[in-house]
Amino acid sequence: MGLVLTDISAIEAYRRDPVLGQRPSVALPFGKMRGLNLVRPRAAELREFDQRGYVSFSRPVHVLVPHRDMRMAANDVRWHVWSGSLPKSGAGFRRDAQDVFLASPELALLHYASHADLADAIVLAFELCGTYRLGGLLGFEKADPLTSAKRLNWFASGVQGARGAKRLRRIADRALDGSASPMETALAMLLSLPGTLGGYGLPSPRLNARIDVSSKNGLNQSKRYYVADLYWPEARFAVEYDSDRWHVGPERIGQDAARRNALLFQGVNVVTVCSQQIMSESKMDDVARIAARALGRSVRPRAREWRKRNRELRRAVLPHRVDGSGGCW
């Protein structure tokens, strides 16, 4: 008896409890034991799913089984069958409750990628590779990364031929590690995705990259390094996102100014972007042009119907809600 959740259902469990991703993996011998009672769902378990604390999960619920004959008729359940072996990266399952297990983030994303819009799946990959999880009172909260772009690539290579594997490889190639918020994800995706996906086609930045500050630069400062939201080291260019929520008040404004001054003194050109610029189509175009000039590039998307694709991308990456103060994340 037991349930193994995958796809968005597993992701929602990881979001509900950010510590889950750090728990030791559990080995479930998928594909090796035809009578694997440990992951053979029962109708009563599916009926009691809501009462067991999963009432807020989206529908359908995605359940993983090792054999087709383990599926059963059930409302609001989507079955995923996995009868083969899994690569070492992404092979482990996590125990959410006594008899509820979660597919690894890599396997869950593979199943999500098999049916989701590509941009939505890349957004999710940024979250899984980042230091935040959606949910909570503020819309997102800090959390340790669940995976990395490299691990997603390894996993995709290890399951070649599986449904969604090719798409997962495309997602892994576009995902970046280290995003700290949904708006940082949106900014990075808009700037770096190719024109065919509605992005501005600029080189991929490093996210939340450490920039060391020389102690011999003559400035009166206590910090020896700063962290840039988006950073292109070859061009010594950084883009900083000023959140409506966090970058307010005299003390924080002063800290931000000191950081920008120190980086400028180090030869790092810094551009600050706020949520109003990202949310505005025309102002975001201007941000892209400024970044392109700093990187020695030009923004001339050649994809047909680029503006239409850009708007579709914006719908996928930009938040659909604001915080209690009326501002974005």
For position 252, what pLDDT does the model report? 64
Q: Are 70 and 41 in contact (CB under 8 A)?
A: yes
DSSP string, 255-283: HHHHHHHHHHHTT-EEEEEEHHHHHSHHH
Q: What's the confidence (pLDDT) of residue 218?
A: 57
Cα separation, 325 vs 120, in Å, equals 26
Greatest Cα pair distance in the chain: 72
Cα angle 273, 279, 285 (rounded to 5 degrees) comes to 70
User: From residue 67, how far is each of 37, 47, 80, 161, 186 by CA, in Å?
Assistant: 12, 21, 9, 18, 39
pTM of full prediction above 0.85: yes
3-state secondary structure of 120: helix
Tell me the three-class secondary structure of 187-213, residue by residue: HHHHHHCCHHHCCCCCCCCEEEEEEEC
Check if the beta carbon of residue 43 is closer than 8 Å to that of residue 72. Answer: yes
| pLDDT given for residue 251 in this prediction | 65
Collapsing DSSP to helix, strand or coil, 238 comes out as strand
Alpha-carbon gap, residue 6 to 41, rounded angstroms: 14
| Matching residue, tokens 């950010």 | 18
Q: Phi/psi zone of residue 250: left (φ > 0), alpha (ψ -120 to 50 degrees), beta? A: alpha
Give the start-to-end residue ranges of the domains of the chain.
3-117+143-174, 182-317
Which pLDDT score is estimated for 143? 95
Structure tokens at 205: 């930045």
Rounded Cα gap, residues 324 and 138, in angstroms:
8
Tokens of 29: 């011998």
Give the model's pLDDT for residue 10: 96
Q: Are 69 and 81 in contact (CB under 8 A)?
A: no
Distance of CA 165 to the CA centre of its chain: 18
User: Residue 50 belongs to what H/E stretch?
Assistant: none
Segments of the chain scoring below 50 in pLDDT: 33-36, 246-248, 321-327
pLDDT score recorded for residue 325: 37
Please tell me the predicted confidence (pLDDT) of residue 248. Answer: 47
Encode burial over 128-143: b for 16+ CB neighbours within 10 A, e otherwise: bbbbbbbbeeebbeeb
Q: How far apart are CA 37 and CA 99, in angstroms?
A: 11
- 234-270 pLDDT tens trace: 999 999 998 765 444 566 666 777 778 778 878 899 9
Count Cβ atoms within 10 A of the Cβ of residue 44 and give its class: 0-12 exposed, 13-18 middle, 19 or more buried.
exposed
| β-bridge partners, 241 | 273
Distance in angstroms (rounded) separating the CA atoms of residues 245 and 274 = 11
Whether residue 320 contacts residue 130, with contact meaning beta carbons closer than 8 Å, is answered with no
Q: Tell how strand 269-274 and strand 77-81 pair up.
A: unpaired
Say yes or no: domain 182-317 is CATH 3.40.960.10. Answer: yes
Expressed in angstroms, the distance from the first to the final Cα of the chain is 41
Gap between the Cα atoms of 316 and 66, Å rounded: 33
pLDDT at residue 102, rounded to an integer = 93
